[in-house]
Amino acid sequence: MILDKRKVVYQIYPKSFKDTTGNGIGDFRGIIEKIPYLAKLGVDMVWLNPFYPSPQRDNGYDISDYMAVDPLFGDMADFEEMVCVGKEHKIDFMLDMVLNHCSTEHEWFQKALAGDQYYQDFFFIQDQPTDWQSKFGGSAWAPFGDTGKYYLHLFDETQADLNWRNLNVRKELFKVVNFWRDKGVKGFRFDVINLIGKDEVLVDCPENEGKPAYTDKPIVHDYLRMMNQATFGSDDSFMTVGEMSSTTMENCVLYSSPDRQELSMTFNFHHLKVDYKDGQKWTVAPFDFEELKSLYHSWGKEMSDKGGWSALFWNNHDQPRALNRFVDIQNFRKEGATMLAASIHLSRGTPYIYMGEEIGMIDPDYDSMADYVDVESLNAYQMLLKEGKGEQEAFQIIQAKSRDNSRIPMQWDASENAGFSTGTPWLKAGKSYKDINVENDIQGPIFTFYQDLIRLRKEMPIISEGSYKPAFEDSKQVYAFERQFEDQKLLVLNNFYAKEVEIDLPAVYQNGQILISNYEDAEVSEKILLKPYQTLAIYVNKYSSKISSNRVSSICNLKTVF
């Protein structure tokens, strides 16, 4: 695989993107309808969350048939047409592969329950459970029918972990990957793929709820190389990304180094835990800027120096909207949205845009627990009550941290249900859709800023290929970094706060050009006063004080006006 580092990925949560049937659930034909919109934005690949047959206990991450389409989303002909229409617009598709576990309604598990020893070996079944905890709360073990034994489920009890040590399991899963490759898919996102390396015999692990016993085990690298060789590794144009749960920098370098032939890149989530009080998700606390900056710098530098590659993102289907977490959205939503975008799109790695991010969508601001459907959120609410929290406090925590925050319907226009559906949406629309929607914002400063960032990555090797070096590490409110490629340098300054801050510009940049800014009056000088949530990128070339033929001006509008 030879990764094209100029590419930008757009994530669609299919249930919530566009419904064309009126049943309240997004579908393939809705995606087909909006492909021109995605082409206008400029993205190269669309990652789809699971659309396979599923009982929907975990919003499709509990798969009951890996090689079929859930009729909720359409049929296989719709899927194939969607892939073809995408290619006409130079957009490829990346599918979610959930290969750590399958639904207990999957044929494999049902045959195992019926006593078939061949399929029982597809799972982890023991006489006694270990002390491991499920990531959704409670024990990671559940009774295996009426046998007196227990099966492992690191997530919901209806998601049984698959035994990758079994050659037959690997063969079946590699068939799945190749089935979708044959459908024209050009990318895969592998869900919690660093959890597949369990030991043959599972034992107690009191540390960190058992995570060290099954996370980033060395054999995972062997499995990934096997899968690479048996499936996508022969296609240089393929893109793969591994979702890495509670991972380490050292392992992500290994997972993503091209010479190891494992994956193209990795997701990690450490930067999205900086507003976890005492490391606990179900809490409400201001984000820790020093920790955020330190994480971005350490990961950016390490991956750059050692040849790894990161998937860069602020939002996805499992996270509250970054704007609510990191920005004063009452006063600076647009400035904050563009600053957050620049902080990753100008960095080293492949940027991912989550649907609605490009228009500055925010959390839904629901009124009661009755509005939520996410199993993790409902379980967490009950857990918080059991811990002694009052109903109002527990609800406020769910409001801040629920996965449903990002799963609300895409806001297309100001009509009922945000233009998502003529029926009742499976999840209630957010309150902001009358003001924040594509129809209002497709010519607005956030969308056009994203277009500019995407074009810059395609046109300027310093952005797609350059190295990463931390800058202004002592600043209490500016996250800054330098990129370098051949004789070019780029300094990116991001003010993470709603107050101005002055910085002394290094001499090498004082004769540079402004590549992009989210304020119209940005200038280069010895001292720069960064405005609230301002992002500013300054470019220099050793052999030219100006970019030849006004190249930057032709690529994008240098300054965005709010």
Q: Which DSSP string corresponds to 121-142?
A: TTB-EESS--S-B-TTSSBSEE
| Whether 243 is catalytic | yes
Cβ(45)–Cβ(9) below 8 Å: yes
Q: Give the number of C-alpha atoms closer than 13 A to the C-alpha of residue 400, restricted to the C-beta side.
A: 20
What 8-state DSSP symbol labels residue 228? H
Residue pair 470/494 in contact by the 8 Å Cβ criterion? no
Give the amino acid at 53: P
Q: Please give the Cα distance from 99 to 169 (Å, whole number).
A: 10
Q: Choose, from 44, 161, 191, 262, the residue flagged as catalytic.
A: 191
Alpha-carbon distance of 123 to 133, in angstroms, equals 17
Strand, coil or helix: what is 190? strand
Closest CA to 251 of 294, 193, 292, 332: 193
CB contact burial 301-317 (16+ within 10 A = b; e otherwise): bbbbeeebbbbbbbbbb
Q: Among residues 62, 92, 243, 376, which one is catalytic?
A: 243
Residues 6+ apart with CB under 8 A from 174: 226, 227, 230, 231
Strands (E), 98-247: 101-103, 125-126, 141-143, 150-152, 159-161, 187-190, 239-243
Catalytic annotation present for 146:
no
Beta bridge partners of 311: 350
Write the secondary structure of 384-395 as one string of H (helix), E (strand) and C (coil): HHHCCCCHHHHH
Query: 469 is written with which tokens?
Result: 């070096």
Q: Which residues are catalytic?
A: 191, 243
